[in-house]
Amino acid sequence: MPEPPTWTDPVEAGVDAMSTYAPYNLISAAANRTRDYLTARIEPDGAFRDICDSRVLESALYLRLLRMRKTHERAQRELAAYLYRIRPTTPLDRIARDSAFHRVPVDTAQELLDAFHHPAGSRKRRVLAAILVALGAPPRTVSDAPPHPRKQAAWTSLALCAADILTTRSPRRSSARGIRRRLRTARAGEVWQGNALAHLLALHALHTVDPLDAVTGTGVEALERIRNHDGGMPFISGQEVFVTALAVSALMCSGYDRTRLARCGDFLADCQLADGGWGYTAATTQSDVDDTARCMEALHALAPDRYRDALNRGRRYLRGMASPSGGFPTYVSHHELEADMTAGAIIALAPLSLPATLRSAAEWLVGQQCQDGTFPATWTIGRNSVSERVLHALSLTGHGAYADCAGRTIRALEMSQNPDGGWGQFLGDSSDILSTAHAVCAVAHYVRPPKTALDYLLDQQRHDGSYVSPADQVGPRPIPFNYPALSSIHALRALSTAPSVRSS
């Protein structure tokens, strides 16, 4: 493998920072193009709505459901055509695609289930088994006992009800009742909680219990409304709260006029849930630490006085999610603690003067660092996103206090940079926009980002100012999904680290 480039901080070297980057007009022009691309996509209500790319899994599950119901023949043809065109890249996708065209051997499904390991343990395995059954590729055995009944995220609870019906010989009667009760809470014509995968599993389970259940028919019509133009089905119907929050933060970093983003801030404030948190879409009632932190970060950057009440409610929500050890989970207190959630909470709470909470969270965070200087990725494929959140968080708690930890992370990023100036999701992978943008933003919290990385971003920009990148988000973990606009949003934030953009 070629030697990684060696970084030289122009400030430490006594060099004019502006002169070490591409000419002012090139970087500023690139940032302006991306900024124009993004602002043109903001809707009148202030939301930034993007379409989730179709996925093999949901498309195959939907096709099988329609075939069993013998309805929506045109949709069946289009789903089959989408699946025929796709070249799956994971074992689960291969099984999902193959199930649409021929019987999948039992041993193949069993091997996938046996090989699956995740910190969530039996809960994830049971849902995976239910997915395989719904695809018509049941494993030979499902060895795990039903998971311990504790509070779960809304869609996980629904998926577990479906799994009880799909994977056990004597399902609880309450499972079908629970599914019907939950699905009936969806707004008219909408996918339940915006989660197509959980919605599909629930409909498969109801079809098993009663093929003529009216709730299933209503649920199918909601799914048909979100099917993409390529014929496939996305994982979720929308992520407009999360994407809008990220877009606002990126635009603010680029120097965009905050008064022109007022409607975006109002949209985010209106999406705050009763518990003080935020969810990923306006269709959900499930709050989480990540979306709450992102929305608070955006609102504080935009107009902290205007959104003081929302920020205070968010602060109370986050403090209620903190564990005694200082770390934060994603959805439910007392669940697994995660580095990216904890870093996000620090970023959101830092402007609100909570020194004890911040110190405890930072101490927990430092303890999660891996030997190579990175941090465990939980909601992304690569680790650069987590590194960026951690370095941002640590920079807000005082550069000196955790300098050793930050230095190890920066060195890890330096060692993993590719010769073309970019980063891939893993060491040795080809460079991509998201991994590169996250890395640039990460190091910029402490040192000047390397010129070669910004050059890479300039070279990869499309004529309309947008960027494209492989999927990096995962959900449910560890299945990737993609929102194309995120590549441009993160790229704008990375371009904005250049002195020429910040000073323009």
Known catalytic residue: 290?
yes
- Is residue 435 within 8 Å of residue 425, measured between CB atoms? yes
List Cβ neighbours of 438 (8 Å cut-off, separation of 6 or more): 382, 384, 385, 387, 388, 423, 490, 494
Q: CA-based angle 490:192:94, to the nearest 5?
A: 65
Query: Is the peptide bond prior to 478 cis by the omega test (within 30 degrees of 0)?
Result: yes
Could you give the CA distance from residue 107 to residue 287 in angstroms, rounded to a whole number? 39
- The single residue listed with the structure tokens 């911040």 is 358
Could you give the CA distance from residue 42 to residue 184 in angstroms, rounded to a whole number? 31
Q: Running DSSP on this structure, what letter comes out for residue 338?
A: B
Amino acid at 48: F
- Is residue 305 within 8 Å of residue 360, measured between CB atoms? no
**Residue 336, both tokens:** 């697994």
Q: Running DSSP on this structure, what letter comes out for residue 144?
A: S
Could you give the CA distance from residue 481 to residue 238 in angstroms, rounded to a whole number? 12
Alpha-carbon dihedral 493, 499, 501, 502, rounded to 10 degrees: 80
- Marked catalytic residue, from 290, 291, 340, 432: 290
Could you give the CA distance from residue 187 to residue 237 in angstroms, rounded to a whole number? 13
Residues marked active site are found at: 290
